[in-house]
Structure 1
Amino acid sequence: MACASQELAVDVAVIGAGPAGLTAAYLLTKQGKSVAIIEKDASYVGGISRTVAHEGYRFDIGGHRFFSKSQQVVDLWNEILGEDDFIQRPRMSRIYYEGKFYSYPLRAFEALANLGLLRSIACMLSYLRYRLFPKKDVESFEDWTTNQFGHKLYSIFFKTYTEKVWGMPCDEMSADWAAQRIKGLSLWSAVIDGLKRSLGLNKTPNDGMATKTLLETFRYPRLGPGMMWEAARDKVLASGHGHLFMGHGLKQLTADARGGWRMSASGPDGDIVVSARHAISSAPMRELAKRLHPLPESAFQASELGYRDFLTVALMVEGEDLFPDNWIYIHDSKVKVGRVQNFRSWSPEMVPDADMACVGLEYFCFEGDGLWSMDDEDLVALATDEMEVLGLVDRKKIRSGAVVRQEKAYPVYDASYAANVDALRRELESKHPTLHLVGRNGMHRYNNQDHAMMTAMLTVENILAGERVYDTWCVNEDAEYHEAGEEGTDKALPSREVSADQAAALASLREVPERVEPGRRAA
């Protein structure tokens, strides 16, 4: 690791050592390019995909299944970490509502049985009403989800949890959020699946919601996702081409007179200054915009972008098998917790004692609000109380707890976010072609880990080519393939050596980003 309080010149400056930043740095150093990375966190790489260690226990900031339809991403995971450090784990998640559990994705007959006859009839009538007479002006999350499932099912299975996560009414959230994250869920498919199960007809491995591939199992690093990004960090540094500055926050990113960049960052021992031909940023767009020099004309619009923060309260509990789920969504207004992770179900190796378990209660908040500002001791007490209210853990078996706060975990999809993102994106692409935005916060898109990596992979291709060959904004960001389909079945990174007709055909595939034709700006 390079010393602080110094200046150096590299080929590429990278802001952020999360999945996108480290993927870009790893691939660039493999090609002999020199890279300098700054990371605001002083202890961990991996961003929201890091794994925190506490008294021998390891726990994630959210859950991170290692699944992708991109063979390139799967191959890169295996290359960085090695297949021997992956384990295959059963996948189970459920919804907790009014003291009962519902499978997720929803299974129609189970849901109807739990809801009871009268409420089930009301749900079906509401569903039919909105399928026959849908809302015409679909602008909000509430509009989109009501049209898809009916207002009754929306109010039961979407409204409470979604408003916990985002801290805003569903009628103020953009419909883009629903269209991106839950468009793969279909009530009709769930009903058909339930009929097949009831009649014993659901026997084929690729039949509807019973698909038995990554739907029921997934790969996972033995010691959590941080294991992947610690390995990537080590490979970058071992290459001899990489520099990493931990505990260094971006101070300013200045465009020089030659189309390159001068990046300054503040750390515990002073500032570092990096000169580079290209800059890659996975920093939140709002934060990047106000640190750019010259200040973008769209900086005010970028300042309007919102983020939801997040904290995890990890409880160490006596008992090996508390519940079988990897995580449980809490759709219950009696408690503040939004989701509960069971880290032994992710990997038994993350819990050092065979007679203990570790659960993580996830609270969605805004930096500086009541939850965020609570003392750690009070948060552990709150989590203990809420686990007892939910009936998931006996408080007498809880032995200790720890709290981890995560700033800007989720980019907010409010009514104006798309226009604000587009304004900054277009200005930067037009004025600064050597500045590249990647990852979840870097692009203000709620994408998955593999999609964040793909934006970095394509950015590296563009840098090596000396032009924007690929439009990174076309990387698919929806989550529906996490519930069905086989890993590594589609080539998400098309070859650069293709004809225009072949590129157009590839671009029509769901997971394949568009190849920008020569001479045309990525739009």
Structure 2
Amino acid sequence: MDTSESAGAPFDLVVIGAGPAGLTAAEEAQRRGWRPLVLEANSQVGGISRTVRWRGNHIDIGGHRFFTNDARVLQRWQEWTGGRMREVPRLSRILYRRKFYAYPLNLCDVLLNFGLIDLARAGASYACSLARPIRPEVSFADWVSNRFGHFLFRRFFKSYTEKVWGISCDRLRADWAAQRIAGMSLPVAVLNALGRGRGARSLADRFLYPALGPGSLWEAVADRVVAAGGELRLEERVVGIAHRDRRVVSVETEAAGGTRRMLPVQRLVTTMPLGDLIAALDPPAPAAVRAAAAALRHRDFLVVALSVARPELFPDNWLYIHDEGYQVGRIQNAGNWSPQLVGSSGTSLILMEYFCSRGDALWNQDDAALVRLAAGELAGLGFADTCEITDGHVIRELNAYPVYDETYRSHLDIIRTYLEPFGNLSPAGRSGLHRYNNQDHAMLSGMAAVDVLAGVPGTSAWDVNIARSHHEEQVVAS
């Protein structure tokens, strides 16, 4: 069934996607007096920052800290939550061969856990990196090896990173490291051990967090947008975007049950993956642009939530699992983020994160097999007996991580060059910009997208979080 709305655009802004970037853009538009329509393909707002309810538990997909050095973002969080967010101390460690290492690396842990031979190898390797640094510094392997030596790169970075991305560290670009773990190096670890370091810039030691998970905040923002006169349509997917003379004129959507609508567009913010955006354009983009969009890759992942009949398993918010013998990449302990995430007293909610790609062997396992795998790995790591694991639930997340492979930048440049002349379209968000953004960066891109469409000079959502440094050096938490 096909329907169409009135020829004159009834909304000042159409937003594709109700994640952090899209909802922030809609709320920002209302501050300008615009009426937004938000279209979300899923049944729940929040995107990858949504909170999934399961048997009284609240599952945060991926673990979403709230930290920022931007006063506007902090002000929005406080306004949207009425100032009611927990301040949570961060504790995260690396688990490697049954030994714990602080993250960022701390010299004391290395000295305690390494034998003399490994210490000598690490020292010699780092000396080599100082004497003969890799130039040019192109890959993730280059970036880390130059700062820690190749021995520590292989011990503490290679396995986990390749679990996450599914490609060799030689193929992952240094851009990712420079944005995510800037400031980390062996000298920093030494200074931290001596109490004289500032720590890595990418690692805030405290963060804000909503008691019922990040999705509760984004649900509040969605309610706010609707209460102020905006509209939110869930389970309505954009399947076509018509344009003329470098302006979007309408979007075609498909709702549950197959109903299609044609919606006129005055302005458009899109957070859909760039590959999907380019594929939806009518008339089609040039062949080179379509090829570039098709070449952009995402990494998907699975969360296996386990209910464990023991209240305290480990003190960390999360653990990085670097052992090659385990498929799990990261383990979240939900109760250490907020006790209110855990549905039953005397139990733990453990979130086992598996990085994969749709269609691969891990993705294709059924839910029962994935729960068995996760339970077996949690027990194998020594955190719980299998008899204590009473229940499990699987969440599958597509397009979780934009991949920074060896070709992504050239493809992204082609797409950006094609899209920028569109006078009433602005991409935003992690998938919309193909950039590994945090929540605050996603929000800033949503704000910038609205500024672009309002004609504010010198603004671009593409320029949010592009510096080869991460944005956590000064964390505003109160």
Range class of TM-score, shorter chain: over 0.9
Offset at 1:244? 1.5
Which residue number corresponds to residue 448 of structure 2?
458
Match of 2:302? 311
What residue is the counterpart of 2:17 in the other structure? 16
Q: Gapped runs of 5+ residues in structure 1?
A: 197-201, 490-523
Q: Write the mapping of 1:293-442 to structure 2, written as runs, cut at 5 A.
A: 293-297=282-286, 298-430=289-421, 432-442=422-432
- Letter of the 2:372 partner, please give it: A
Deviation at 1:480, TM superposition (A): 4.3
Aligned to 2:82: 82
2:228 is aligned with 1:239: yes
Question: Could you tell me whether the CA contact under 8 Å between 1:13 and 1:275 is conserved in 2?
Answer: no
| Cα shift at 1:239 | 0.9
Tell me, in whole angstroms, the C-alpha distance in 1 between the residues paired with 2:256 and 2:458.
39
In the alignment, the residues of structure 2 paired with residue 147 and residue 315 of structure 1 have an alpha-carbon distance, to the nearest angstrom, of 39
Distance 1:149 1:62 in 2: 27
SS of 1:407's equivalent in the other structure is: strand
Q: Hey, what does 2:105 align to over in structure 1? A: 106
1:224 is aligned, of 201, 208, 213, to 213
CA distance in 2, matches of 1:348, 1:163: 32
- Write the distance in 1 (CA, Å) between the matches of 2:87 and 2:57: 20
Q: Which deviates more, 348-357 or 330-339?
A: 348-357
Give the counterpart letter for 2:108 in structure 1: F
CA distance in 1, matches of 2:477, 2:103: 23
Corresponding position of 1:155: 154
3-state SS of 2:170 partner? helix
Q: For 1:171, what is the secondary structure of its paired residue?
A: coil
Q: Partner residue of 2:172?
A: 173
- Mapped partners of 2:244, 2:19: distance in 1: 26
Q: Between 163-172 and 31-40, report the one with greater CA deviation.
A: 31-40
**What's the TM-score, normalizing by structure 2?**
0.94
Counterpart-to-counterpart distance in 1, 2:443 and 2:453: 15
Deviations 1:257-296 (A, max 9, x none): 6934201111114112221211111011111111112222
Question: Equivalent pairs: percent with the same residue?
Answer: 42
Structure-2 residue corresponding to 1:27: 28
Report the CA distance between 1:352 and its aligned residue. 2.2
Query: Which of 423, 435, 443 lines up with 1:445 in the alignment?
Result: 435
Give the drift of 1:173: 1.5
Aligned partner of 1:291 in structure 2 is 280
Q: Secondary structure at the match of 1:455?
A: helix
Per-residue Cα deviation, 1:413-462 (whole angstroms, up to 9, x for no partner): 111100101111111112x1211010110000001110010011122222
Residue aligning to 2:475 = 486
Measure, in 2, the Cα distance between the counterparts of 1:345 and 1:244: 33
Other structure's SS at 2:336 match: helix
For 2:191 and 2:271, the matched residues in 1 are separated by 42
1:510 maps to which residue?
Answer: none
Look up the SS of the partner of 1:172 in the other structure.
Answer: coil
What is the CA-CA distance between 1:89 and the residue it aligns to?
A: 1.4
Report if aligned partners of 1:66, 1:218 keep a CA contact under 8 Å in 2: yes
Q: Output one character per residue of 1:105-124: Cα deviation in whole Å (capped at 9) or x when no partner.
A: 11112123212221011111
Q: Distance in 2 between matches of 1:479 and 1:418?
A: 17
- 1:481 Cα deviation from its structure 2 partner: 4.6
Contact 1:141/1:178, CA 8 A, preserved across alignment: yes
Q: How far did residue 180 of structure 1 move? A: 1.9
Q: What's the secondary structure of 2:183's corresponding residue?
A: coil
Give the stretch that moved more between structures: 334-343 or 180-189. Answer: 180-189
> Given the alignment, which residue of 249, 259, 264 partners 2:252?
264
2:47 maps to what in 1? Answer: 47
Secondary structure, in 3 states, of the residue corresponding to 1:295?
coil
Tell me the amino acid that sits aligned with residue 439 of structure 1: G
CA distance in 2, matches of 1:384, 1:286: 36
Instruction: Tell me whether 1:278 sits opposite 2:267 in the alignment.
Output: yes
Q: In the TM superposition, what whole-angstrom CA distance separates every residue of 1:22-80 from its partner, at most 9, and x where no partner exists?
A: 000111123321211111112x1111111100011011110111110001000011112
Shift of 1:146: 1.3
Deviations 1:176-229 (A, max 9, x none): 222222222121011122134xxxxx5xxxx52399xx8332110010000111
Q: Residue 39 of structure 1 contacts residue 248 of structure 1 at CA under 8 Å; is this kept in 2? A: yes
Separation (CA, whole Å) in 2 of partners of 1:210 and 1:128: 21
Residues 206, 477 of structure 2: 8 Å contact kept: no
Distance 1:333 1:436 in 2: 41
1:60 equivalent in structure 2: 60
Distance of aligned partners of 1:215 and 1:172 in 2 relative to their CA distance in 1, 3 Å threshold: closer
Question: 1:450-484, CA deviations, whole angstroms, 9 ceiling, x for partnerless residues?
Answer: 001001112222223x35531322222567454x5
**TM-score between both structures, scaled by the size of structure 1:** 0.86
- Map of 1:174-189 to 2, 5 A cutoff? 174-189=173-188
Letter in 1 for 2:38: I
**Unaligned segments of structure 2, at least 5 residues:** none
